[in-house]
Structure formats: structure tokens, C-alpha cells
Amino acid sequence: MRVPILKQENFLIASVQSALSDVEWERLRDDLADQVGRHRSYGVIVDISALDVLDSFATRTLRSIAYILSLRGAKTVVVGMQPDVAYSMVRLGLSLEHIETGLDLEDGLMILRESLKGGAGPV
């Protein structure tokens, strides 16, 4: 299943609706890297609230998405991680260092708007 990527103002919102295979994670990465340039977006929100498992590959891909997008000039916010997912991730020693996280979509939008106010990108 292709993850829908919505454009909202200057941001992109990728809402992961169900568990993704490794290939689908890679496609999400490629799609985002591509579209962030096409829409000239300044921020990307990846909503993972529907996921109750996040394995090491998904974690690594999320991290590389954030790094790739920052090289493309956009800030990434991962939002909506479920308590169980957060719990098992820290138990496994996986963490999303240097990546902004938010509670939910609303929170993510707020974080991006805040950071835009800070100077990066257009007002």
C-alpha cells in the first residue's frame, strides 16, 4: 500500500495507516525525498499513530528520512507514537536521536510553525 502524502500549506503530511513492509518503507522515503522538492515544503510530518510495532528497519528508515529531508531543506517531525511502541523501542535500545517528535498531528503542525517563526523558510 502506498502511504498517502498530503500537502498542507508549506508542509507535507505522510500518514502511515497500517504496518509497512521494508519495501514500502523505502518507497515512502523515496516519495518524500521527491515530493519535498516538488512542493517546496519546509516541513514534513510522519504520523505513525496507527502503528503498534516499529522494528529496527522502520526505525532506521525513519531516521534516514529525517536526515535526507534535512539535506533537502525540510524539517521532519515524527508524531503519534503509541506508548507501547515507545516502551519497546527504548527497551531495545532504539531511539530517534536528533529527530523531532510530537504527540499528534496537531502537535506536529505546531512544532513546524514554531520552527518556521524562528527564521527558516518563508513566513
Partner 1 sequence: MARGTTSGTPNNITKELVANFKRERDRLRQQWVAQMTANNLLAGLTQEEIESEFATIYDTCVGCLETGSYEGAEKYALRMAERGVLRGMTTEQIIGGLLVLRDVYGRALFSWFQKDMAKLNKALDAYEPMANRILAIVSMAFIKEREQVVRQQQEAIRELSTPVLQVRDRMLILPIIGMIDSMRARQLMEQLLVSIRDNRAKVVILDVTGVPAVDSRVANHILQTVDAARLMGAATIVTGMSPEVAQALVAIGVDVVRFNTVGNLQGGIEEADRILGYKVIANLE
Smallest gap from residue 67 Cβ to partner 1 (A): 17
Kindly list the strands in the beta sheet with 5-8, ordered across the sheet, starting from the edge strand earlier in the chain.
5-8, 11-15, 43-47, 75-79, 100-102
Asked if residue 79 binds partner 1 (CB under 8 A), the reply is yes
Asked if residue 2 binds partner 1 (CB under 8 A), the reply is no
Strand partners, 7: 12
Smallest gap from residue 78 Cβ to partner 1 (A): 8
From 91, 98, 119, 123, residue interacting with partner 1 (rule: CB under 8 A): 91
Contacts (Cβ under 8 Å, ≥6 apart) of 118: none
From 50, 53, 86, 120, residue interacting with partner 1 (rule: CB under 8 A): 86
Element (H, E) at 44: strand 43-47
Asked if residue 50 binds partner 1 (CB under 8 A), the reply is no
The smaller minimum CB distance to partner 1, of residues 1 and 50, is found at 50
Residues 29, 64: contact at Cβ < 8 Å? Answer: yes
How many CA atoms does the CB half-sphere of 36 hold within 13 Å?
25
Smallest gap from residue 97 Cβ to partner 1 (A): 9
Annotate each residue in 94-113 with x if it binds partner 1 (CB under 8 A) or - if it does not, as one string.
Answer: -xx----xxxx--xx-----
| 98 secondary structure, DSSP code | T
Binding site for partner 1 (CB under 8 A): 79, 81-87, 89-91, 95-96, 101-104, 107-108
